[in-house]
Amino acid sequence: MQFDVANLIAILPEIAVLITACLVLVVDLYLQDKNKDVNHTLTLIGLIIAIALTGVVGGGDRQIFFDGNLIQDGISDLLKGAILVVSVLGFIYARPWLKDRDMLVGEFYVLGLFAVLGMLVMASANSFLTVYLGLELQALSLYALVAFDRESKKGAEAAMKYFVLGALGSGMLLYGISMLYGATGSVEFGAVAQAVSEQGMANEVLVFGIVFLVIGIGFKFGAVPFHMWVPDIYEGAPTPAVLILGSAPKIAAFALATRMLVDGLQELHADWQGMLLILAVLSMGLGNLVAIAQSNIKRMLAYSTISHVGFIFLGLLAGSTQGYASAMFYAIVYALMAAGAFGILLILSRKGFDAETLEDLKGLNDRDAWYAAMMTIIMFSMAGVPPTVGFMAKLLVLEAVIRIDLLWLALVAVFFSVIGAFYYLRVIKFIYFDRAVLNAPPLVTTGGVRFAMTFNGLILLMLGLFPTALLSLCQSAFI
């Protein structure tokens, strides 16, 4: 095999992120403490360049390169763009929190950028080997980010739990991949799909491989019953790390599931559909019911994440172009909602105090009416209240499920959504109808954070009113 320089054009966004990470790592060595903001600026510039390059090299026909290990198509273009946009928002929200605590150091940005690079690799993967390498690059970076606050015992405990359970999930996934390789003789999705169509379910090794594969995907999504790591990590990790962990990686997890199940194992849809159906019902049920009992808002958002994962699985198990497009739409929208929700928690925090309980949101409208409005839009969107985009995302997923004659499943999803609306509306009650704590200091914010939060909140509203632009991109990606 000869190296073709033309292949590098397709991975220019990944190259831009890698160069940015290396540049921040080197430049940080020579920066004085008062000049650490340079790390933040370099990171944002690198991510914006990567977004521009994604638009430049994207589009056109589907291409496979690097000896079949990477692919450029509509799915990779849209997912990479969404990952990069959400990551930009995450880094903007994190900066004031880090600066207040004298933690605005290059290591945070380097780890974050390498996590983003892993997500981009997963979105472009065309083989089990490549998707696993991207997954591990993302996971190893996030393990370190969770333990980023060295003085936090809760953070160290959360990182240890995340590492152990993450390694278990990765091991399950790798075991499934090895079985599929043994059954099909290839790790490339195209060759695997062809071998699977010829063998069907006659090969027992293939059956076990799919089971372990779905278990691994469930671990990475945080679906029930593989959700045990999610609430503890969300509660124990520093809020900036939770922001990065809880937003863009959900898009990458969708890429992981799509590449493996749709590109590689579409012929066996009837077999993995049943497994996803069980995971979806359990995730929606437990996620929404347990979230009601939470007083810690980070734990509440963790169980909320689990319930939203159930909705993403509904789109995937539909097995149709419409179902896959609706699941992609939901994953992108959820990442934007999660980024905004944790962004508000960072804005409410200050040196010596972290906003972690529902009580900390009391009287937010009295302290800053605009941020209160943005948080309200985010909560309405998570609850699926029109005209926010969360309503449209749930509607599209439910429509895809109904079209494959699973009306009962759609009714179950609606039932749990109604239950879930309670704890989202409870947040709005704290914001508008409860008095702020006496002598609560004014919110310390910056123009950049306010602009990013405004964009974050209004885009959820605009996509709800005019969903066609994003929805058409999702649909065209699977045509």
pLDDT above 70 coverage of the chain, percent: 98
SS3 353: strand
Sequence-separated (6 or more) residues with CB below 8 Å from residue 46: 16, 17, 19, 20, 21, 23, 24, 113
276, pLDDT greater than 70: yes
Kindly tell me if the per-residue pLDDT of 1 is higher than 60. Answer: no
pTM recorded for the entire structure: 0.93
CA distances to 213, 251, 272, 469 from 327, rounded to whole Å, are: 19, 10, 16, 16
Other Cβ atoms closer than 10 A to 181: 16
Containing 121, the helix (H) or strand (E) segment is helix 106-124
Whether the CB-CB separation of 251 and 86 falls below 8 Å is answered with: yes
Give the C-alpha distances (Å, rounded to integers) separating 294 from 231, 297, 300. Answer: 10, 7, 5
What would the two tokens of residue 288 be?
A: 């929404």
Taking residue 207's Cβ as centre, other Cβ atoms within 10 Å add up to 14
DSSP label at 127?
Answer: B
Stretch 335-348: mean pLDDT = 92
Closest alpha carbon to 221 in 321, 334, 57: 334
**Residue 270 pLDDT:** 81
In Å, how far from its chain's centre is CA 222?
11
Cα 107–Cα 113–Cα 118 angle in degrees, nearest 5: 125
- Weakest mean pLDDT among 146-155, 276-285, 462-471: 146-155
Q: How far apart are CA 305 and CA 309, in angstroms?
A: 6
* CA nearest neighbour of 113 among 133, 74, 83, 69: 83
Question: What DSSP state is assigned to residue 62?
Answer: -
Q: Hey, is 188 helix, strand or coil?
A: strand
**In the predicted structure, residue 19 carries a pLDDT above the cut 90:** yes
